[in-house]
Amino acid sequence: MSEPTHASSGASCAGSRRERLDLAGRRIVLGLSGGIACYKSAELLRLLTQAGADVHVVMTAGAQRFITLDTMQALSGHPVATDIWDAREPNGMPHINLTRGADAVLVAPASADFIARLAQGRAEDLLSLVCLARPWGVGERPVPLLLAPAMNREMWAHPATQRNLAQVSADGALVLGVDSGAQACGEIGDGRMLEAAALLEELVAALAPKPLAGRRVLITAGPTFEAIDPVRGITNLSSGKMGFAIARAAREAGAEVTLVAGPVHLATPRGVRRIDVRSATQMHEAVLPIAAAQDLFVATAAVADWRPASLSAQKIKKDGKKVAPTFELAENPDILAAVAALPQRPYCVGFAAESEKLEAHAREKLHRKRLPLIVGNLGPATFGRDDNALLLVDAHSTRALPADGQAADKLALARELVQEIARRMAQEAA
C-alpha cells in the first residue's frame, strides 16, 4: 500500500528541498523548420532552459516566417544559427561546431518537406546539414536525432510522408509522433505537433540510462474505491503521484510499462500503457492475468483492505432516528501477496505507508509476503505533497532514500528508486 497523498495539489510544496533539473549539463540543438507550430517551439525552448539545458537554436528560412530570431535568441541566450556560411564561425563550419559536444538534436517542428530532405540525405540548408553531420555512431559518441512532426492531416497520412518517416526511423532518428485535433487550416485530424511539455518528457526519456531495456514492468498506483451505495464509498487519500512517477521513471529506463491505476486525476506518462480500475477487486482482476509475463511488479497502490460485504442498490437515507447504519465488511484480495506467490513470479517490490515504527512494520510486511524489497514511507509526512522520503528494507539491510533522509521531488526519487531496483534485479540474475 503506497503513501496516501492528497489529490488536489499539483504544484510542488514550498517545503521541498530540491529543485529538479532534468537536463542539467545537457547541450541541446533545437531545430525549427517551417510551420505554424513554431509558436510552440518558444514554449519548448523555455521549458528546456528551465530544465537546465544549454540550448542552441537552428532555424530554416521557412521557420523565420513564423517566429523571429530575436525571440529564440532571447529565450536561449545564444545567437540563432541560420546560415551554412556563417561568418561568425572561425572555421566556417557551423554544422560541425553545433553538433560536436551536443547531447541531442531535436527538430520541432519537423515539416513534411524537412522530413523528406532527411530521408533523401539532402543538406542544402543549415538544419538538414546539422542533422546529417551529427555523430551517429561511427567512431564517436552518437548524438540522438529526435523529430517532432507537424503538418496537415492529409500530408501526415500521405504514403510519401509515411515512407519518409519509415526511412528516417530506419536511419536512426526517433520520430515522436503527433497529436490529433484542430489544425491551423481549420481541419481536424492527426498531424499536430506534440505540446512542449510532452516533447520535454520525450527528450528526457531519450537521454536517460536504460538499465531496464527489454524488461516488462507492471505498476499499480492510486487509491481504490469500495462502494457502499450508488453515491458513497470507502477510499483513502492516495493521489497516485508516487506510482505515476515510478511508471515514468521505468519507461525512461527503457522498460515496457503497464500502469494499473485507481481513480486518480493524473495524466498518463508518455509511452506507458494505462489500465483504469476502481475497486480492489477490479485491480486484482487487471493485475493477476498479466503478472506472470512481467519482469518487475511494483505495488504502490493504496489498496483498501476491506470492502462492504453487500452493496445497497439505492442511496442509504437517514431514517430520522439518527441511528448510524452498520456494515458487514469482507476482506479484499491481497494483490501483492497473490503476485508474489505465482510459480513464475516477477521481481516484486511492495510499498508500506505507516504512521509509526516504519522500519518494524515494513520488515514485518517483507517477511509475511516473502518479498525481496519493501519501500516504506511515513504517510502523514507526505500527505498532499509532491515530495517524499523513502526507506528501503530488504532481508539484510535498511537504507534511506535519499541518503540524507530528507524529502525529495517524487520524480527524482522515483528515478533513483528505479535505478536501485534495476541494480538489484541484475545482481539476482547474475
Are 264 and 7 in contact by the 8 Å Cβ rule? The answer is yes
334 Cβ contact list (under 8 Å, min separation 6): 369
392 Cβ contact list (under 8 Å, min separation 6): 373, 374, 375, 376, 398, 399, 400, 401, 417, 420
Are 170 and 164 in contact by the 8 Å Cβ rule? The answer is no
Domain range enclosing 359: 216-314+324-429
Give yes or no: residues 42 and 78 share one domain.
Answer: yes
Burial of 136 from C-beta contacts in 10 A (0-12 / 13-18 / 19+) = middle
Q: Residue 37 CB: number of other CB atoms within 10 A?
A: 28
Give yes or no: residues 272 and 144 share one domain.
Answer: no
20 part of a folded domain: no
Cis peptide before 94 (omega within 30 of 0): no
Cα separation, 213 vs 55, whole angstroms: 28
Picking from 397, 331, 403, the residue whose alpha carbon sits closest to that of residue 362 is 397
Give yes or no: residues 78 and 190 share one domain.
Answer: yes
48-51 CB contacts, 8 Å cutoff, 24+ apart = 48/23, 48/200, 48/203, 49/75, 49/76, 49/77, 51/21, 51/22, 51/23, 51/24, 51/200, 51/204
Catalytic positions, please? Answer: 185
74 Cβ contact list (under 8 Å, min separation 6): none
CA angle 286, 287, 292 (to 5 degrees): 135
What pLDDT sits at residue 429? 86
181 Cβ contact list (under 8 Å, min separation 6): 188, 192
Beta-bridge mates of residue 373: 349
What pLDDT sits at residue 385? 76
Give yes or no: residues 226 and 282 share one domain.
Answer: yes
Beta-bridge mates of residue 408: 388
Are 350 and 371 in contact by the 8 Å Cβ rule? The answer is yes
Burial of 58 from C-beta contacts in 10 A (0-12 / 13-18 / 19+) = buried
89 part of a folded domain: yes
C-alpha cell at 383: 500527505
What pLDDT sits at residue 9? 35
Cα separation, 110 vs 145, whole angstroms: 11
Are 328 and 252 in contact by the 8 Å Cβ rule? The answer is no
Cα separation, 142 vs 135, whole angstroms: 5
What pLDDT sits at residue 139? 65
* CATH of residue 378: 3.40.50.10300
Reading the chain (430 residues) residue by residue, the pLDDT tens digits are 443 333 333 333 333 445 689 999 999 999 999 999 999 999 999 999 999 999 999 999 999 999 999 999 999 999 999 999 988 888 889 999 999 999 999 999 999 999 999 999 999 999 999 999 999 876 678 999 999 999 999 999 999 999 999 999 999 999 999 999 999 999 999 999 999 999 999 999 999 999 999 999 999 999 999 999 899 999 988 889 999 999 999 999 999 999 999 999 999 999 999 999 999 999 999 999 999 999 999 999 999 999 998 888 888 887 776 677 888 999 999 999 999 999 999 999 999 877 678 888 889 999 999 999 999 887 666 766 788 889 999 999 999 999 888 889 999 999 999 999 999 999 998 8
Do the bridges between strand 306-308 and strand 256-261 make them parallel or antiparallel, or are there none, so unpaired? Answer: unpaired
Are 308 and 229 in contact by the 8 Å Cβ rule? The answer is no
8 part of a folded domain: no
16 part of a folded domain: no
Picking from 227, 228, 234, 236, the residue whose alpha carbon sits closest to that of residue 325 is 228
Are 39 and 63 in contact by the 8 Å Cβ rule? The answer is no
Q: How large is the C-alpha radius of gyration of the chain?
A: 25
Give yes or no: residues 75 and 138 share one domain.
Answer: yes
As for how many domains the chain has, the answer is 2
187 Cβ contact list (under 8 Å, min separation 6): 152, 153, 154
Give yes or no: residues 185 and 224 share one domain.
Answer: no
Domain boundary among 149, 175, 207: 207
Give yes or no: residues 228 and 347 share one domain.
Answer: yes
* 375-399 per-residue burial string, b: 16 or more CB within 10 A, e: under 16: bbbbbeebeebbbbbbbbbeeeeee
Give yes or no: residues 136 and 273 share one domain.
Answer: no
Give yes or no: residues 200 and 220 share one domain.
Answer: no
Give yes or no: residues 237 and 374 share one domain.
Answer: yes
123 part of a folded domain: yes
* 272-305 per-residue burial string, b: 16 or more CB within 10 A, e: under 16: bebeebbbbbbbbebbeeebeebbbbbbbbbbbe
217 Cβ contact list (under 8 Å, min separation 6): 247, 250, 255, 256, 257, 258, 294, 295, 296, 297, 298
What pLDDT sits at residue 92? 84
Domain boundary among 146, 174, 207: 207
Are 206 and 215 in contact by the 8 Å Cβ rule? The answer is no
19 part of a folded domain: no
Picking from 110, 106, 30, the residue whose alpha carbon sits closest to that of residue 71 is 30
Burial of 314 from C-beta contacts in 10 A (0-12 / 13-18 / 19+) = exposed
Are 353 and 374 in contact by the 8 Å Cβ rule? The answer is no
17 part of a folded domain: no
Domain boundary among 207, 230, 261: 207
Give yes or no: residues 302 and 180 share one domain.
Answer: no
297 part of a folded domain: yes
Give yes or no: residues 155 and 33 share one domain.
Answer: yes
* CATH of residue 132: 3.40.50.1950
Q: What is the 3-state secondary structure (H, E, C) of 169-225?
A: HHCCCEECCCEEEECCCCCEEEEECCCHHHHHHHHHHHHCCCCCCCCEEEEEECECC
